[in-house]
Amino acid sequence: IKNQSFKNISFPTTSVKTRLGLNHSQVDSWIPHLLTHRLNFITLHGRTLSQGYSGTADWQEIKKAVDIATGFPIIGNGDIQSRGQGIEYCQKYGTAGALIGRAALGNPWVFADQSPSVSDRFTSALYHFQIFQKVFPHRRTDSLRRHLLAYASGLPHAKKLRQKLVRVNTLNDLLLLENDFLNC
């Protein structure tokens, strides 16, 4: 997302991605401390460490960090579900940008605010699998399965499909599920 805060950044850059605090927000002391270091920008997740990914991201606390760091680029993170929402939050809370995290799992279209067809999802899952095999030719596919499951998320009969996807070990295994996927 374009913002004037980034116009003077040269690469490589140094940044920090952090949370509001451990058990409660410590933005009032944490952000000023981070600003004493030679950072190009800060990404702030709107939850505490103890919250993990539960609850709702506190964008008011992210706004407080923006106000503390006047003129310094702060990227907001937490609960952004679409590119449009990211732009809206940048404008509403004054951030230099917004990160899309979990909403992108199995949904790379989130950055273009598009809704993929079931066929698009299957094709992308295949492509994802092929890239994984190319990058990690000798690695088991256990870590890839969560991404395959994400491509099925929200489909009408996703539960049955997920039960099959967790057993996928090879590209051929995935190809055998094409009809199950497309008829989900």
For residue range 77-105, list pLDDT tens digits in order: 999 999 999 999 999 999 999 999 999 98
Does the pLDDT at position 8 exceed 90?
Answer: no
Q: Tell me which residue of 146, 121, 120, 119 sits closest to 132, measured CA to CA.
A: 146
Beta-strand pair 15-19/97-99: unpaired
* Structure confidence at residue 2 (pLDDT): 47
Q: How confident is the model at residue 1 (pLDDT cuts 50, 70, 90)?
A: very low
Residues 9/41, Cβ–Cβ less than 8 Å: yes
Cβ pair 21, 30 in contact under 8 A:
yes
**pLDDT value at residue 119:** 94
pLDDT digits (tens, 9 = 90+) for 14-54: 899 999 999 999 999 999 999 999 999 999 999 999 999 89
Q: What is the pLDDT of residues 98-141, one digit of tens each?
A: 999 999 988 899 998 888 899 999 999 999 999 999 999 999 99
Looking at the whole model, is its pTM more than 0.85?
no
